[in-house]
Amino acid sequence: MEREPLVYIDGNLVPKSQAKISVFDHGFLYGDGVFESVIVTDGVAFKLKEHIDRLYDSAKAICIDVPMSKEEMIKTIVDVVRANGFKNAYIRIIVTRGVGDLGLDPRKCSKPTIVIIVDKIKLYDDDVWSKGLTTIISSVRRDRVDATTHEVKSMNYLNNILAKIEANAVGADEAIMLDDRGFVSEGTADNIFIVKNGVIYTPLRSSGILPGITRARVMKLAEELGYKVVEKDITPAELLTADEVFLTGTAAGIVPVVKVAGRVIGDGKPGPVTRRLYEKFVELMRDPSEGVKIF
């Protein structure tokens, strides 16, 4: 029988079944906090430092002072992964505003709560690469960048969840969201790319996307492989008539999309550009120079 994962909560390691926080924590009451996710592959935590940089940027944007340095955070994460003994795992790092009262006032929260979870995750079926994903274009619009911007990786994911509910209702694997102007933004938990005539396109940050760390590395990888990569506003029509579409994310990696809103993309199979990027990206995830080697 597999051992129960250990969860870090404010300096303590406890079994998953016993991991608890206060019901007065503002992360629970109001989604008031930030988080990051990191994948460990063959003992390498891919882009761990970059994820921690983004965690602290997100915390700064919503005025949470993380009560440990970045270096201390990375060491703690490494220690928690080692304590669990997983060479392949999914890490979730959470920093909430902390315990307060039932009011909104963040001044009532004296100290942020830090939680580190090391476990497994499975977003899609094992045959995703042979069949690809089906998607819808959601009626739920991405929040504006001057509102609860998704450039901050906060714990408030209701916008994403409502779009995912729409996808579930029609049997689609994922939902693609538009920004408030009607341009393509991203999926519910992943950035989006399209390929047209050999050129790779991806939406601008101004469309309300999370500036994905996997997204950034895939863009760099594509350029290293000789592809032209363009960040631009993408219309729904451009999405529907693309030669290839793929999604990128921490847990997903690179995943092909073969149908959008009932329209078949390309020949209905994962395309050659997507496949080439995927094959190279899988190698990168195991490369110690691309992350932090834990085992």
What is this structure's pTM? 0.95
Q: How far apart are CA 46 and CA 284, in angstroms?
A: 8
Residue 139, helix vs strand vs coil? coil
Residues 244/195, Cβ–Cβ less than 8 Å: yes
> Same fold for the domain at 6-120 and the one at 128-285?
no
Average pLDDT, the chain: 96
The half-sphere exposure of 97 on its side-chain side, counting CA atoms within 13 A, is 27
Q: How far apart are CA 261 and CA 40, in angstroms?
A: 33
Q: How far apart are CA 52 and CA 47, in angstroms?
A: 9
Amino acid, res. 52: I
Nearest to 41 by CA among 93, 87, 80: 87
CATH number of 6-120: 3.30.470.10
Residue 179 reports pLDDT greater than 70? yes
pLDDT tens digits for 72-84?
999 999 999 999 9
Nearest to 155 by CA among 28, 53, 60: 28
Residue 124 reports pLDDT greater than 90? no
Residue 1 reports pLDDT greater than 70? no
The predicted pLDDT at position 149 comes to 85
pLDDT tens digits for 181-232?
999 999 999 999 999 999 999 999 999 999 999 999 999 999 999 999 999 9
Range from 47-51, 145-149, 180-184, 208-212 carrying the lowest mean pLDDT: 145-149
Per DSSP, the residues of 237-269 read HHHHT-SEEEEEETTTEEEEEEEETTEEPTTSS
The half-sphere exposure of 220 on its side-chain side, counting CA atoms within 13 A, is 9
CATH number of 128-285: 3.20.10.10
Confidence of residue 148 (pLDDT cuts 50, 70, 90): confident
The predicted pLDDT at position 3 comes to 82
Residues annotated catalytic, as ranges = 153
Annotated domain spans of the chain? 6-120, 128-285
Residue 127 reports pLDDT greater than 90? no
